[in-house]
Each structure stands twice: as structure tokens, then as C-alpha cells.
């Protein structure tokens, strides 16, 4: 065969259109497609760098504009824009996956054209005189806090409540199980962790008995928190006929952007009449008298009175968000009788539910409340939290309070259950210690309590921690209370823990080894995501 006389097949046809190679060439003619490819390919080879550059620049501009228009935090905006331009392609992809707040957008679509669940609470709203009587006469700043929190939360302060602290699962779990067994109309339950363990099975059985009695039962478990045990409690609840939903599960790649956006709220409402909330998950480790392998101390609260309405509202909203089901007539602000709250007065505590999360139009409402509470303090501030990773604004507010002469005591676990969090916390303790705050390390078992008491008059409790995850990334629920007798009891409780704790001093922090300081500093870089 004479190779020189063999027709030469163009590159584009030879490698990308083999279906034409033999038939058309053997016939001595080219198809229009071959002709087009032969002419376009050299141009494409020549221009592809310019096309790629133009595409990347366009995508980068779009991502940057979105960040500039939607991000409220200047540091976050700078970080995302920098990543987008310094890492072309990768930066924009990362921003699309993790930087866009799809939660807020989804919530907006869900509640478009609907009013929030607002029950008839006007009769439970206290008068100015009632507020003045509930707060110490000499603390005008604390009285002004009632106005600020109302403006930030858009929720009224409600009178006529009773709030009872429950120490750990030993006090809380039997009360919660008895409440479930007493339910006649409805049970709304939300938990971050609901383990399939001996304690979890007790709750599963109680919920099943309620379903058998004809009670409307809805159980909401976080998509990640539901997977702390296997097989999961979700599967067992569904098998036994309990209506359960997972909050943004992460088993499907589509939900990857939501991996950090967890429902950390703990709410149980029975018949719209009384409820439980705080920091307690459903797991065997919190029942200390059962001698669990990994014991966890915590605190929960039994609540009655009109403020239960606000617990129920938050649960109904979360349930609609996760399942798509509206409990009652959510659209017109009313609930049917099954989920109708009871506004009867049961005590004298002034209380207000505080919901916050990444679906808020203004992220950071809890920071404003914490800063305002610290600014209102005149004598003492006591704080308990398992995870202490506040930003600079919170650290400065703590320091300013201490510099004003307020005694600021912060109680942290001596041994954190999350090593990275403990290391990161060590790296910033100097910011509050150097300004006169007291840091106390509580002995085992690990204490998961989230609690704040100001001037033995004002109390904040719930699911939120003092870290960026709780303040920006998670869905949380706290309750503020103006109840001096309860505040004094909790103040004394924290004081008793302080007596058993070890004080962490500035000299102790400064004397860490070089390795520990480097380790803690590196861990602190991850603080927004720990």
C-alpha cells in the first residue's frame, strides 16, 4: 500500500467522529458535520484559554456580587470574595455549596404569604408597672432589657408563668415520661439527639402508648443528631406508628450545604399546656443514676403558663419547615383544637421565648441580647456553657462588664468532650481573663448546662452555647425570665459548682507549653465551625 497516496484524515474527525472515518472518506467526500468540525476545531483550540478565562471571570463576578449583596458580616464577605478570586473555579464552587444561605431562602418560600403563628397572647402581656415590680427597683438598665429583647425578637414578654429547674436526666426524664403518658390531645417533641438506647426506648414506648390512645404525636429529630446511634430511633418510631420527621437529613448529596445547619432545639409541649426545654438531649448518658458509660450533667426546665405558647409556635414552625405539614391552620395564625395552646396563668414569672437561627433575616439577634444583658449587669454575671468560643464583640462585652466592677464568673467543663473545642477555647481565654473575668473549670462529669444569670434577677436558659456554631449556624431556642426567686436559686447552684471547681488563671494560660499554644491557636482557626 502506498502510504503517500492514503488520504489524511483530519484530527477532529479522526479522534472525535470515528463514525464518519471510513464510510465518508472511502467514498471520497466529507459530510457537512465533518467540514464544520475541521474548520471549528482549530479555532476552538486557539480560543479555549480565552473562553475559560471569560467564564471564570463571569462566575467570579457573579459570586462576588452575591456575597456583597447578601452577606451582613464584613469579615465573612471579605473572606468569601478573597477565596473566589484567589482560587478561580474552586472558590466560586465552594461559595455556591457553603456560602449561600439556602435555609433563609427555603424558609421565605415556605412562609410566603403566611403570617407567623401568633396566638391570642394580649391578655398575658404584663403592664409596665408589673415589669417594674418584677425587676429590682434599683436596676433601670435591666428593665430596659425587656424592651430591647422585645424589639429584637418581635415576641412579647408574657406574665403568669411557672418555671422549675430540673437537674439532669434524673429529674427531667421521669417528669417528661409522665407528661407524655398524661397527654390527651397533642404532643410536639423536638430534639437534636434522640438515641436508640435504654433511655431512648423508654421515650419511644411512651410515645407509642400516646399514639395508641389517639393523641396527635409529632416528633422532630435533627438529621445528624438522629444518627448518633444505630439502628436509629427514627426507624423504630416509624415502625411503631409514630409520626416522625428528620430535620434536613444529610444522607443525600443535595443536602450537603446544610451539614452545619442543625436544629439544636430541645422542646416538648404537652396539650399546649406545659412544656420542657433546655439543653437536655434524649440519651442514656444524661441519666446519671443509671451509671452510664459516658455520663453527662445537664439542666432542663419545666414550664407552664402562657409562655408555653411560644414553645409551641417554634415547634409548629420547625415541623412545617421539615415535613411540610401545617399543624392546624398555620396560614391564618390560628390552630385547631388539637394544637390550641392554653393561656391560663400558673405563676408569677415573666418569660419570653427566644428563637434564632440561620433563617433569620438578621443573623446575630442572640449576640445583641447577650451584649445588652452584660451591659445591664450592675453586680454579678454567672455563665455556664460547655462550649465557649465567643467572637471579639462578646469577649469585649464580658471584659467591659468586669472592668465596670461587675463580678463575671464563667464556668466551663474541666475536660471537654470535644477536644478541638477545648483547645480552641484555651486560645481565647486570655481575652476575658486579662480584663478581670473569672474562669472556673468544673469537675467531671462533663457539664452540658447552658445558663446565664444577671444580678440574681434575670435568667437565660435553653439550647444555645456561647460559640459561633450556636449563634450563626444552628437553630436554637432560649427562654429569658424575670423571676428573682428562681434566679437566686440558679445563682446559688452555679456558686456551689464554683466551690467545687478549679480556677483558670491568666498565668496558667500563659504558662502553657509551646506545643499547646500552637495546637490551641490552630484549633481556634476552626472556631466558626466547631
Task: Give yes or no for a contact between 359 and 109, defined as CB atoms under 8 angstroms apart.
Answer: no
The three-state secondary structure class of 43 is helix
Selection from 319, 315, 320 nearest residue 303 by Cα: 315
Domain annotation covers residue 195: yes
Please tell me whether residues 30 and 93 are part of one structural domain: yes
Residue 164 has pLDDT above 50, yes or no: yes
pLDDT 10s digits, 473-524: 889 999 999 999 999 999 999 999 999 999 999 999 999 999 999 999 998 8
DSSP code for 137? T
Residue 192 has pLDDT above 70, yes or no: yes
DSSP 260-306: T--B---EEEETTTEEEEES--B-GGG-GGG--SS-EE-EEEEEEST
Task: Give yes or no for a contact between 404 and 392, defined as CB atoms under 8 angstroms apart.
Answer: no
Q: With bands split at pLDDT 50, 70 and 90, how would you rate the model's confidence at 18? A: very low
Cα 336 to Cα 187, 216, 312, 316, 326, distances in angstroms: 14, 12, 13, 12, 11
Domain annotation covers residue 264: yes
pLDDT: which is higher, 389 or 101: 389
pLDDT: which is higher, 141 or 486: 486
Domain annotation covers residue 399: no
Which of 313, 334, 359 corresponds to the end of one domain? 359
Give me the mean pLDDT over the 182-207 stretch: 96
Please tell me whether residues 213 and 116 are part of one structural domain: yes
The predicted structure's pLDDT at residue 398 = 97
Which of 51, 70, 100 corresponds to the end of one domain? 100
Cα 416 to Cα 185, 440, 443, distances in angstroms: 41, 13, 10
Please tell me whether residues 147 and 233 are part of one structural domain: yes
Which of 100, 128, 150 corresponds to the end of one domain? 100
Task: For residue 15, give its domain range.
Answer: 11-100
Please tell me whether residues 38 and 144 are part of one structural domain: no
Report which secondary-structure segment, H or E, holds 441: strand 438-442
The predicted structure's pLDDT at residue 445 = 94
Check which CATH number belongs to the domain holding 197 and give it.
3.30.870.10
Please tell me whether residues 34 and 141 are part of one structural domain: no
Please tell me whether residues 142 and 248 are part of one structural domain: yes
Domain annotation covers residue 143: yes
The alpha carbon of residue 90 and the mean position of all alpha carbons in its chain are separated, in whole angstroms, by 27
Percent of the chain topping pLDDT 70: 81
Cα 63 to Cα 67, 177, 316, distances in angstroms: 6, 50, 35
Please tell me whether residues 161 and 261 are part of one structural domain: yes
- Average pLDDT over the chain reads 84
Cα separation, 387 vs 467, whole angstroms? 6
Domain annotation covers residue 368: no
Domain annotation covers residue 24: yes
pLDDT 10s digits, 403-432: 999 999 999 999 999 899 999 999 999 999
The predicted structure's pLDDT at residue 65 = 83
Supply the pTM of this predicted model.
0.82
Domain annotation covers residue 510: no
Please tell me whether residues 132 and 29 are part of one structural domain: no
Lowest-pLDDT range of 17-26, 77-86, 184-193, 321-330: 17-26
Task: Give yes or no for a contact between 387 and 418, defined as CB atoms under 8 angstroms apart.
Answer: yes
Please tell me whether residues 68 and 149 are part of one structural domain: no
Cα 350 to Cα 216, 259, 276, distances in angstroms: 30, 36, 17
pLDDT 10s digits, 351-386: 999 999 887 766 688 999 999 999 999 999 999 999
The predicted structure's pLDDT at residue 67 = 79
Give me the mean pLDDT over the 462-472 stretch: 91
Please tell me whether residues 239 and 148 are part of one structural domain: yes
Give me the mean pLDDT over the 156-171 stretch: 95
Give me the mean pLDDT over the 263-279 stretch: 96
Domain count, the chain: 2
Domain annotation covers residue 517: no
Please tell me whether residues 19 and 48 are part of one structural domain: yes
Please tell me whether residues 210 and 268 are part of one structural domain: yes
The predicted structure's pLDDT at residue 119 = 52
Cell readout for 245 is 420527621
* Alpha helices (H) along 404-529: 419-433, 468, 484-499, 506-510, 514-524
Amino acid at each position: 500500500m502506498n502510504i503517500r497516496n492514503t488520504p489524511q484524515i483530519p484530527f477532529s474527525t479522526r479522534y472525535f467522529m470515528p463514525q464518519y472515518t471510513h464510510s465518508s472518506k472511502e467514498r471520497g467526500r466529507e459530510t457537512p458535520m465533518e467540514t464544520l468540525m475541521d474548520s471549528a476545531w482549530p479555532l476552538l483550540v486557539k480560543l479555549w484559554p480565552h473562553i475559560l478565562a471569560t467564564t471564570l471571570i463571569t462566575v467570579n463576578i457573579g459570586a462576588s456580587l452575591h456575597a456583597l449583596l447578601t452577606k451582613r458580616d464584613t469579615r465573612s464577605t471579605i473572606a468569601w470574595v478573597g477565596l473566589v478570586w484567589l482560587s478561580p473555579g474552586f472558590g466560586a464552587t465552594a461559595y455556591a455549596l457553603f456560602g449561600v444561605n439556602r435555609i433563609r431562602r427555603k424558609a421565605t418560600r415556605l412562609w410566603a404569604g403566611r403570617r407567623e403563628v401568633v396566638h391570642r397572647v394580649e391578655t398575658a402581656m404584663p403592664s409596665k408597672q408589673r415589669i417594674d415590680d418584677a425587676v429590682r427597683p434599683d436596676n433601670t438598665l435591666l428593665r430596659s432589657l425587656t424592651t430591647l429583647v422585645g424589639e429584637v425578637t418581635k415576641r412579647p414578654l408574657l406574665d403568669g408563668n411557672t418555671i422549675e429547674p430540673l437537674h439532669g436526666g434524673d429529674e427531667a426524664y421521669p417528669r417528661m415520661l409522665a407528661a407524655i403518658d398524661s397527654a390527651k390531645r397533642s404532643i410536639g417533641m423536638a430534639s437534636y439527639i434522640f438515641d436508640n438506647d435504654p433511655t431512648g426506648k423508654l421515650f419511644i414506648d411512651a410515645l407509642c402508648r400516646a399514639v395508641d390512645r389517639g393523641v396527635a404525636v409529632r416528633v422532630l429529630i435533627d438529621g445528624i443528631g438522629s444518627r448518633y446511634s444505630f439502628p436509629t430511633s427514627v426507624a423504630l418510631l416509624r415502625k411503631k406508628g409514630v409520626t416522625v420527621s428528620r430535620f434536613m437529613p444529610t444522607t443525600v448529596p443535595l443536602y450537603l450545604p446544610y451539614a452545619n445547619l442543625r436544629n439544636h432545639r430541645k422542646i416538648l409541649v404537652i396539650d399546649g399546656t406545659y412544656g420542657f426545654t433546655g439543653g437536655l438531649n434524649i440519651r442514656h448518658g444524661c441519666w446519671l443514676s443509671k451509671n452510664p458509660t459516658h455520663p453527662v450533667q445537664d439542666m432542663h426546665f419545666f414550664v407552664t403558663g402562657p409562655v408555653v405558647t411560644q414553645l409551641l409556635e417554634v415547634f409548629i414552625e420547625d415541623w412545617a419547615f421539615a415535613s411540610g405539614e401545617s399543624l392546624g391552620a398555620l396560614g391564618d395564625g390560628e390552630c385547631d383544637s388539637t394544637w390550641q395552646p392554653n393561656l391560663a396563668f400558673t405563676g408569677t414569672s415573666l418569660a419570653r421565648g427566644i428563637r434564632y437561627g440561620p433563617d433569620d433575616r438578621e443573623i446575630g439577634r442572640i449576640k445583641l441580647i447577650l451584649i445588652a444583658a452584660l451591659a445591664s449587669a450592675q453586680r454579678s454575671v454567672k455563665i455556664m456553657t460547655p462550649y465557649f468560643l465567643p467572637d471579639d464583640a462578646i469577649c469585649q462585652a464580658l471584659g467591659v462588664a468586669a472592668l465596670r466592677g461587675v463580678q463575671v464568673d464563667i464556668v466551663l467543663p474541666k475536660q471537654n468532650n470535644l477536644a478541638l473545642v477545648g483547645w480552641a477555647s484555651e486560645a481565647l481565654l486570655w481575652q476575658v481573663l486579662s480584663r478581670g473575668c473569672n474562669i472556673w473549670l468544673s469537675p467531671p462529669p462533663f457539664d452540658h448546662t447552658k445558663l446565664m444569670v444577671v444580678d440574681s434577677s434575670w435568667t437565660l436558659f435553653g439550647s444555645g452555647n456561647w460559640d459561633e456554631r450556636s449563634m450563626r449556624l444552628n437553630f436554637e431556642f432560649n427562654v429569658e425570665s424575670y423571676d428573682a426567686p428562681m434566679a437566686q436559686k440558679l445563682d446559688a447552684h452555679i456558686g456551689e459548682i464554683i466551690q467545687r471547681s478549679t480556677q483558670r488563671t491568666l498565668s496558667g494560660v500563659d504558662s502553657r507549653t509551646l506545643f499547646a499554644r500552637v495546637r490551641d491557636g490552630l484549633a481556634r482557626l476552626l472556631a466558626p465551625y466547631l
